Structure 1
Amino acid sequence: MKTGTKFIHAGAEPDPSTGAIMTPIYQTSTYVQEAPAQNKGYEYARSQNPTRTALEKAYAEIENGKFGLAFSSGVAATDAVIKLLSPGDEVICGNDMYGGTYRLFTKVFQKFGIKFHYVDMQDVKNIAVAINENTKLVWAETPTNPLMNICDIEAIASLTKAKNILLCVDNTFASPYLQNPLDLGADIVMHSATKYLGGHSDVIQGALMMNDQKLRDELYFIQKSCGAVPGPMDCFLVLRGIKTLHLRMQRHSENGRKIAEWLRKHPKVERVYWCGFEDHPNYAVAKKQMRDFGGMMSFELKNDSVDEAKRVLSSTKLFSLAESLGGVESLINHPATMTHASIPREERIKNGLSDSLIRLSVGVEDADDLIDDLNRAIG
């Protein structure tokens, strides 16, 4: 089945009672049982909900996996993965990861005896050096937020499988349209479905996809026991969003290329971070494992001052200054004070995330209008 067809029909079955083509919103907390322990699969909505079941089936299908699980947010999905571990276990992760993931690792799980090592994952050798007998998980993010660094999923998977270490890939920036980590050897794929999967800035949700039954059962137990589950309306919204994912990602990618190339030629722009440039350090890897390069990018001005960056951030009209990404509308963001504020400044600077870096989530508007908006703001 071709990608576009798969996204439209993933998880979709006509409602058996009415024939409704769209999955109904089962707005219920509990289910009537004919007799104790005879419940036709549904007992209580924290454990299962028919709307969520349809979405979880869709999650598996769009990532070419066997199983999908829906969570109340991307952070909740990440939280569930780390709960697979025990005190004394160690995790290797990227040194330029999303700030919310870094906060969860350092402020919550570190105090429970889980140790995290932060390395430059652009070179798989750095991961190999960091592995020890306590390493149980490698957490990869590619492209990274916000510097658009690329790591080689297939090479990392080869390394982790040989060592019996789990590999989880945060695929939020790429989406299943551009990249499928399970096909490249990952054990788990994580999405903040709030972003491209929902696609309309109207829902908060997270997702995990996997192929292994035992791993699915362990994660389902955590989902059910810890309770970070999405409501049926949120599940419906993501199901609806997935149906147009391929159309939106095509436009995000087309607009992203136009704007990245335009920014690079602008006399007041010093550097543009976008993984579609042929001189990107890991362009060959990106081209191998991605179908296109998306609409996420960051840039620095030649006037490398925070005040100048803030002036630009506050001067756009079509690009809205806001958290998040992946919606149909374009967003502009200041990572140092917004998405990555939880990372200590010295760590950010060391890893290349400057105080003046500006991040763009390029939407699906007309690219020429977006370029005019940025041109006016940059001046």
Structure 2
Amino acid sequence: MKRNVLLGLFIISLFIGSMNFVTVQAESASVEPQSMLMAKYCTITNPDNGAVVSGFVTITVSASSTPKISIDGVTVATAYSYVWATTGYVDGSHTIRAKARGASDTNVVTVSNGGTINTPPTVIITSPANGATVSGTTTVTVSVSDEDTIVPDIYIDGAYVATAYSYSWVTTAYADGSHSIYAEATDTGGLTGDDTNTVTVDNGGGGQGWSKDTLPNMMPWWNDVIDVEKTSYTGAGTVIVVIDTGLVEIWEDYFPRENILTEYCRSYTQELGLDNVPWNKDTEGHGSAVTGTIIGYRLDSTTDYWINGVAEDAKIVMLRCVYWIGGGVTETTMLNNWANCINYARTLHSGALSSYNMVVSMSLGYDNT
């Protein structure tokens, strides 16, 4: 009996001890969630917002965790303090930002080391004048005034054309009507100046006698299926190299002249002596159909309509390629020609048409069984 009593006391003691252990563990576990709920804070304590600073300035931060310190968007330290050599920055406004876990702070200060406060470049399009009417080849000239020597970027209708003080603009490649010339220049301090002039191109209607802007629009089913009207993309700034069968001989009755970059179009079948068909004499109709799908086309009927394209402001370079085997044309000849077309497009993209985005369209295939 005595042995049973002792055994029972031991078991009770062990049970009570286990309860105490569990209690201690639960109390200990409750500490961590409380620490995770501590307030997050981050304050730049020096320099003050709006302060004028010079020389070496110690940036100090009070934060709940080690902050990242940045100046003008560039991280300079992960620390509670940072010695900032302001002489390495232009005089003027600068932004200090500190970011800790879950909190951040921003102060704007003025650096003044006795230098000239940086101001944006003054950019002026000196020619053609705003509101001018232009034709043929027009020289766009831009002046830039700044402490730095900066060459401006020039854009026509939002598409980059040159980095230069002057640019020869061939207006005959554009539709008659209103066009914008934009120039901008950015100095070493990151400040940008710009200017915009709006001019009217008048080349006598481009010799076409019609404009898509005056025709009633029709949405073809193939564009309706892909909901083309729901996108704001127009193809501006993009050139599409169409490797196909060419364009119809009377292409100007269907396509706006300003969309076709005729100076870069080629007929490889003619150049290789395989036929006497130029790029603008599509004997199959396929290349013309592809072009119409891209930029749209004029439907010449009892009542003229403009059939909407998927990228109506894109430029087209038509390459008539070898698309058959036989009559002296081998499989190797045809495939090599396709490769030459692609290489020509690459040459344009890295050279004369480098200011454009480029897409290559190839509706090509064959059965070699």
Q: Is the structural similarity TM-score above 0.5?
A: no
Structure number with higher helix proportion? 1
TM-score by length of 1: 0.25
> If you compute each CA radius of gyration, which structure gives the higher value, 1 or 2?
2
Structure number with higher strand proportion? 2
TM-score by length of 2: 0.25
- More relative contact order, 1 or 2 (CA 8 Å, 6+ apart): 1
